[in-house]
Amino acid sequence: MQSILVIVFLPLLASIVAGLVNKSAPSVFAKSITTGGLFVSCALSWPIFLSFWSGNAEATVVPVLTWIQSGTLSFDWALRVDTLTAVMLVVITTVSALVHLYSWGYMDEDPDQPRFFAYLSLFTFAMLMLVTADNLVQMFFGWEGVGLASYLLIGFWFKKPSANAAAIKAFVVNRVGDLGFMMGIFGTFWVFGTVSIPEILEAAPGMSGATIGFLGLRVHTMDVLCILLFIGAMGKSAQLGLHTWLPDAMEGPTPVSALIHAATMVTAGVFMVCRLSPMFETAPIALAMVTFVGAATCIFAATVGTTQWDIKRVIAYSTCSQLGYMFFAAGVGAYGAAMFHLFTHAFFKALLFLGAGSVIHAMHHEQDMRYYGNLRKHIPLTFWAMMMGTLAITGLGIYHLGVGFAGFWSKDAIIEVAFARGTELGNFAFWMGVFAALLTSFYSWRLMFLTFWGKPRWIESEHIQHSVHKTPEEAGEDTTGGYHPHESPISMLIPLGVLSLGAIFAGQVFAPAFLDSAAFWGGSIFYNEALIHAMHAVPYAVKYAALIVMLIGLFVAWLAYIKDTSIPGKAVEQLGPIYRFLYNKWYFDELYHYLFVVPAFWLGRQFWKLGDIGTIDRFGPNGVAWVVEKGAVGAKKFQTGYLYSYALVMLLGLVAAVTWVLF
């Protein structure tokens, strides 16, 4: 297990080297050292995961150094390696390595490639620190590290105002969630007297039913702690209320979207809840909150995704919705199912993001799907890759045949386990999950039909046509204005191929271990064996519910975007207010603007004008300067420049001195 040190710290070393060298060496140097470092980490991570999968490994802790000793607070910097860590290691390093390779082609024309690759590796290091943490402070270090790296990556094109605004928005919204996370850590240390995760989880069952004073009330201790911790997860994983940063984060380069917003940073909240699952199991109110927020996010993001035109925003809201599935799975007690969906989702969502990047690359950075169409003939490899991702996220599979794409095994398991829970919140989550599966199918196939079928609408895009410079001889008799979408370079296609394999086989291969094997998890999460048995015993109608709604969504999308393309326009006309409500993302941004942004700016102006200028400057530096200026004006009157004036003053002074001495 000493290889864990290389896995974690090699990306940091590569990031430092690439960042220091920057433009003093050819870009290929920074790209090679960061990409090579990630592939080495990936190659070392898979044997660790497979050893846990085969039952040939045990949890271990690798010490790094003594970190903090202050009074009763004492802990080391150590790397915990268990099944939960191993799952996250392969997710992070695999997707990150492929994103690094993909970026060779996607960012080829960018002059700041060394900085970009340094940021990517820095982000990967921070995420690895988070998932290997043996104590809450170390987890918080990684937690804030990914927040910093995401700010740098989202705002990578810092000369673009919208990118800067998106980076600031992500940073600020995450700080709101992180306040709750910090308070949860402080409270946990106060209650348990330690920040060691194993010690906290061992003592957690004994705190069931204990109460504590909070805001003048007596409340259940574990509920308060877990709700505060979950608020941190809501910010990092973009759950309803703290979700507004995720869609805007698409302003960063597409590889950033695939890395941060599909497989790593946004899954940090799910990982944290699963890591602390023994704590959450003693907090029924907190679990109810996790279930409700997850189910509400699931349906909210799916409804918004049906109306968006930007290909990356559709996938971004899809990510938000799929995270909702993971959370309500954890909320009903199926932490293994939540982690399984996290695992499969990493492959097919990264595939969809990188596939979208390949489409954008082919269309000269046009992201509006209304200017796509018929691209399957021009970029067939990208088309088939995105088809695999779409079949995975929509969950195509047949229960009785035991075959299906990745999403069929993980997402359907979550829907089934919510039904099996049998509680009111479980039933609510079940119906929200089924309805969200219907919407997921619709917006996923809508994306595919608008992009790869129909007439080539790119000739209507001024952006695309103005970015193409072809002579009439080069254009020939081409009716598209001389422009042909082109397939991406091999460095972009290889990651698509690898991720396609994950989208196809990851669920089929690993479902038994993730869902049905308590031994596989080895105590790294709370495993409810009775709930899993109940999940397998649900009626066939429940097992086939996701497949049925998937086919309905496919049919409706085909009818509206292939069979009769006038249907969407008619639907928008008839459902005007509802459509605008969904298209404008339930008006959360506008609501927050008037609730928080406007008052904050007003308060800032008051402090600035009344406090800074009106008080501090007026009676501070400006006031002193005024006194000096007026004093100088008065003193200037005594400086006439005439000799007799100075002689008179000297005489008067002499007389005064003599008088004082004599009398």
Q: For residue 635, what are its two tokens?
A: 């003193």
Which stretches of the chain score pLDDT less than 50? 468-481
Phi, psi of 70 (to 5 degrees): -145, 105
Q: What is the pLDDT of residue 469?
A: 41
Structural element, H or E, at residue 321: helix 311-331
The reported pLDDT for the residue numbered 460 is: 64
CA–CA separation, 147 and 171 (whole Å): 7
Residues 6+ apart with CB under 8 A from 168: 151, 155
Contact by Cβ (8 Å): 359, 473: no
pTM: 0.89
pLDDT at residue 482 in the model = 53
Q: What tens digit of pLDDT does each residue of 596-640 get?
A: 889 988 998 888 888 888 788 777 787 778 788 878 887 777 677
Q: What is the pLDDT at residue 76?
A: 85
Between CA 393 and CA 347 the distance in angstroms is: 10
Residue 487 is classified by DSSP as: P
**Listed residue (314, 456, 449, 458) closest to 383, CA to CA:** 449
Tens digits of residue pLDDT in 24-71? 788 899 899 999 999 999 999 999 999 999 888 889 999 988 888 887
- The domain locations on the chain are 334-414+424-459+484-583, 584-619
Q: In 3-state terms, what secondary structure has residue 155?
A: coil
Q: Is 75 helix (H, G, I), strand (E, B) or coil?
A: strand
Under DSSP, is residue 309 helix (H, G, I), strand (E, B) or coil? coil
C-alpha–C-alpha distance, residues 246 and 251, integer Å: 10
Beta-bridge partners for 398: 403
Sign for the CA dihedral angle at 535, 536, 539, 544 comes to positive
pLDDT of residue 71: 78
Give me the pLDDT at residue 478, please. Answer: 46
Question: Closest Cα partner for 399 from 412, 390, 386?
Answer: 412
